[in-house]
Amino acid sequence: MKAKLLFFFLLTLSLMQMMAQNSRVWATYYGGTIYDVGNCAVTDASGNIYLAGYTSSTSGIASGGFQNTYGGGTYDAFLVKLDASGNRLWATYFGNNNNDHAYSIAIDHSGNVYLAGGTSSTTGIASGGFQSTYGGGSYDAFLVKFDASGNRLWATYYGGTGWEEAYGVSTDTAGNVFITGFTNSTAGIASGGFQNSYGGGTYDSFLVKFDAAGNRIWGTYYGGAGDEGYDGNSVCTARSGNIYLTGWTSSTAGIASGGFQNTSGGGKDAYLVKFNAAGNRVWATYYGGTGDEGGITNILFGKNVATDSSGNVFLSGTTASTSGIALNGFQDTYGGGTYDCYLSKFDSAGNRLWATYYGGSGDERGWGVATDASGNAYLTGRTNSTAGIASGGFQNTNSGNYDAFLAAFSSAGNRLCATYYGGTNGEWVYTPAIDASGNIYLPGFTYSTSGIASGGFQNTFAGGTYDAYLAKFSSPFSPVTGTDVQTACNSFTWIDGNTYTSSNNTATYNIVGGASNGNDSLVTLNLTILNSATGADVQTACNSFTWIDGNIYTSSNNIATYNIAGGAANGCDSLVTLNLTIINSAVGTDVQTACNSFTWIDGNTYTSSNNTATYNIVGGAANGCDSVVTLNLTILNSSTGTDVQTACNSFTWIDGNTYTTSNNTAIYNIIGGAANGCDSLVTLNLTINNVSDISTTTSGIMITANNTLASYQWLDCNNSYAVISGATGQSYTPSANGSYAVELAQNGCTDTSACVNIISVGIADNAFTGQITVYPNPTNGHLSIVSETGFSDALLTVRNAMGQVVYRKNHASSDHLELILDGAPGVYFVEIVDGEKRAILKVIKE
């Protein structure tokens, strides 16, 4: 892919409009000299527009159509086809000798046109359809199919013995057609549908599905015990094949299930029902507050439901409820007057996304809603409010009485623009039609004789009470223009998908919804194409060379090329040719001798002789290339030996460590100690001997060494550990008080015990006949001495461990002596002498 210099999308938009607006393209009356009502309109893929309604004019209506003469009765239905410029292509009556009304129109993907309504003509209506005979009652519904040239393909009555009229018709992508309306017939209506029996009340709604040939696939009632309206029913289909039905109801049960509002708000509520293609109800909801949303005078026959390309569904209508209607929309509070319009948006699951009132201080009737390809919604209705209605539209003031209005909303519920439409008298308007270019067509009827038509098929009021009219408005979302300035190298692929190889300032592209005001953005390309540069890369390398292309070259090369993106001075690519010279590296040998191991310049450690290893010294050759060195290595080995040692208790070796136990694992390396100049590795073989036990035991004044395996020499601790002559036995009994220890010899080692203090040499044993008790012992200083036989005249003498007298006192006759030791903690000896009797007692003070 060729690189671009500036691959970012810079739109320099010159905004031609600051807000969404719409303007009238043309408008026409359509009528004869008596009474003409336009109820509905639809566009086809070629941009043609169909208008339908009913008329009592016997001339000025039909031309080149299926039925060019008035059928009779008070009214005939009519259907007229006009091109995008407002020229009539053909027109037809549809009716016989009684009353015939057309209320709704639809078109299929083949361009066929379906017209639905009500008739009291018992003949001349049906041909080749599902029901060829009149059902009975005041009216039957009818459905007729025409091709694009105005030829009738088939037509059917639809009704039982009661009263039926069809107010809505819609087609799906498979070519099926659906009609809806009201009925009070208890049979002949439903078959294979969701509700196959009449619900009750004065009227039920009905919904019927036909195939393209006019065969009924299924039909259903829809209603509870109350009324389901005699006007205002409408139907639409989604791309998914689901069907949405709307109307109004006074039934408080049997209507809602799994929807946004499952209980009636009070009075007459609107309802919205979703069916799948098989006629099964998916969900249903009431929509209303405490006032009425149905049964309101002059609601008539607008289509109050529409879907967008994302599967969302819009519901419109008229309300007298001042709360419970609007949320997060353009107008969240009731405008005033008896009625306001409303518009609500739901997702395909029945969740309300937003809703708005639409109305001023007067009265409003909401009669239709439609959507465009961008998901914008268009609300139509009738108003006598002089403010709060129009903004940025074709007609921003009310012309008098009731005017029609059109309001455009974004998919988020923001009002984009709105217009009145009317003359000095009254106007009605029904569901708008939107063509592929976003143009909007308003169908309706008027008794204003001026201010309606301009540039259309019929520019003057024909006479009579009413004329139908059809007005075409441009999209309020006309494109905003701008320029996309781009500079690129060699080629550029634009948003239109085309690749340009030369400069261009004429190409254009429309970005749907691309402008800041939500309109389309019409972009003109301003493109400058720059060229890439070329050059040579001269290189000299040793042995091999890795170039910018990622390839490794081992020989000289002057043909390889590489493209550097953005490498040229103008920011374009630079195409480089390689001019490479390869020169060779040098070789050599590194002779080495080492002990045990050798770490070479390659970072490896060798433990044996080696003459195969090589290493490349970068730039080491005289020519600046690498030098490849081969190792020639001789490895010599270190010597080993054992150091045998015997020691008592501990031994400090040549490694500096002191060992206290035998050891035959310690090693020490004597650097260069071997005969070949290598290291000498010495292993220690050490035996540690010691005296196994140096403890003693004292019994009376006799001291005994506990070690039975040693030889003994007793020592006088108080005389600098002088040897006691002849005292070499395991036990020793001193002849005088003092401190004594024993030196033990075992396994060639000697050690000395701790000194033992002897202080009771010459002390008599207890000579008293009864037991003498000292308590507490140990003591904190206060002693009690008790004798079983008593004392007559006792002398108490207390000595410390050094034999020093610390207390001496005579005590009179008693069997209980008290004594206070106020000396330091330690061992004390208490001597008691009473006549010829004597005892010495050992006491410990804590």
Tens digits of per-residue pLDDT, 709-722?
999 999 999 999 99
Residue 4: pLDDT above 60? no
Cα-Cα-Cα-Cα dihedral sign, residues 170, 176, 177, 182: negative
Q: Which residue among 597, 620, 636 closes a domain?
A: 636
pLDDT, position 106: 98
Domain of 189, CATH number, reads 2.130.10.10
What is the secondary structure of 350-390 as a DSSP string?
A: S-EEEEEEE--SS-EEEEEEEE-TTS-EEEEEEE--SSSS-
Here the tokens at position 362 are 């007067």
Higher pLDDT, 638 or 320: 320
CB atoms within 10 A of CB 546: 10
**pLDDT for the residue 144:** 99
Q: How far is CA 15 from the centre of its chain?
A: 36
Tokens of 256: 């809602």
DSSP conformational letter for 479: P
Q: 150 lies in which domain range?
A: 24-473
> Is position 256 within any domain?
yes
pLDDT band, very low/low/confident/very high, at 546 (cuts 50, 70, 90): very high
pLDDT band at residue 766 under the 50/70/90 scheme: low
Residue 6 predicted with pLDDT over 70: no
pLDDT tens-digit series, residues 593-611: 999 899 999 999 999 999 9
pLDDT given for residue 517 in this prediction: 57
Do 671 and 702 lie in one domain? The reply is no
**Partner residues linked to 541 by β-bridges:** 582
Condensed to tens digits (0 to 9), the pLDDT of residues 269-278 reads 999 999 999 9
- What pLDDT does 764 receive? 47
pLDDT band at 14 (very low <50, low <70, confident <90, very high): very low
Model pTM?
0.60
Tell me what pLDDT residue 639 has: 87
Q: Are 528 and 569 in contact (CB under 8 A)?
A: no
Region 454-468 average pLDDT = 95
* Two structure tokens written together for 731: 């036990």
Q: Above pLDDT 70, what percent of the chain?
A: 93
pLDDT at 117: 97
364 occurs within a structural domain: yes
SS3 717: helix
Q: State yes or no: pLDDT of 464 exceeds 60.
A: yes
The values of phi and psi at residue 121, to 5°, are: -75, 125
Write down the pLDDT at residue 11. Answer: 38
Given a cut of 60, is residue 297 above it in pLDDT? no
* pLDDT score of 15: 34
Our count of domains for the chain comes to: 7
Contacts of residue 504, Cβ cutoff 8 Å, sequence gap at least 6: 525, 527
Dist. CA 202–CA 505, nearest whole Å: 68
At residue 9 the predicted structure's pLDDT band, cuts being 50, 70 and 90, is very low
Q: Are residue 574 and residue 591 in the same domain, yes or no?
A: no
CA-CA distances (angstroms) from residue 436 to 19, 371, 372?
Answer: 22, 11, 8
- H/E element, 719: none
- Model confidence at 12, in pLDDT bands (50, 70, 90)? very low
pLDDT higher than 60, residue 812: yes
Verify that 278 and 228 share a domain, yes or no: yes
Percent of the chain with pLDDT over 90: 70
**What are the tens digits of pLDDT across the range 15-50?**
333 345 568 999 999 999 999 999 999 999 999 999
* pLDDT above 70: residue 575: yes
pLDDT tens column, 470-519: 999 998 766 678 899 999 988 999 999 999 999 999 999 988 767 765 56
Which domain CATH number covers 838?
2.60.40.3080
Whether 766 is covered by a domain: the verdict is no
Question: Do 600 and 451 lie in a common domain?
Answer: no
The Cα angle at residue 433 between residues 432 and 438, in degrees rounded to 5: 110
pLDDT of residue 291: 92
**Residue 2 placed within a domain:** no
**2 token code pair:** 């060729």
Q: Which is it for the CA torsion 520, 414, 293, 259, positive or negative?
A: positive
Same domain flag for 507 and 617: no
Q: What is the pLDDT of residues 236-258, one digit of tens each?
A: 999 999 999 999 999 999 999 99
Do both 561 and 631 map to the same domain?
no
Question: CA 319 to CA 813: how far, in whole Å?
Answer: 127
305 and 354 share one domain:
yes
Tokens of 325: 């209607």
569 and 592 share one domain: no
CA 369 to CA 433: how far, in whole Å?
9
6 is a domain residue: no
Give 827's pLDDT tier (boundaries 50, 70, 90).
confident
pLDDT at position 8 over 70: no
Q: What is the mean pLDDT of the chain?
A: 90
197 plus 142 within the same structural domain: yes
Whole-Å CA distances, 197 to 191, 221, 237, 253, 423: 9, 7, 24, 15, 47
Position 690 in a domain = no
Higher local confidence (pLDDT), 383 or 804: 383
pLDDT at position 621: 84
First to last CA, the chain: 102
Residue 567 pLDDT: 84
Predicted pLDDT of residue 722: 92
From 446, 473, 500, the end of a domain falls on 473
- Residue 444 is assigned to a structural domain of this protein: yes
Beta carbons of 204 and 175 less than 8 angstroms apart: no
CB burial readout 82-105, b (16+ within 10 A) else e: bebebebbbbbbbbbebbbbbbbb
Enumerate the β-bridge partners of residue 468: 30, 445
pLDDT for residue 444 is more than 50: yes
Kindly tell me if the per-residue pLDDT of 301 is higher than 70: no
Q: Are residues 517 and 487 in the same domain?
A: yes
Of 583, 599, 625, the residue at which a domain comes to its end is 583
Task: Answer yes or no: do 498 and 413 share one domain.
Answer: no
pLDDT band at 552 (very low <50, low <70, confident <90, very high): very high
Same domain for 616 and 663, yes or no, is no
Confidence of residue 388 (pLDDT cuts 50, 70, 90): very high
Which whole number is the average pLDDT over 97-119? 97
Please report whether residue 221 resides in a domain.
yes
For 224, which DSSP code? -
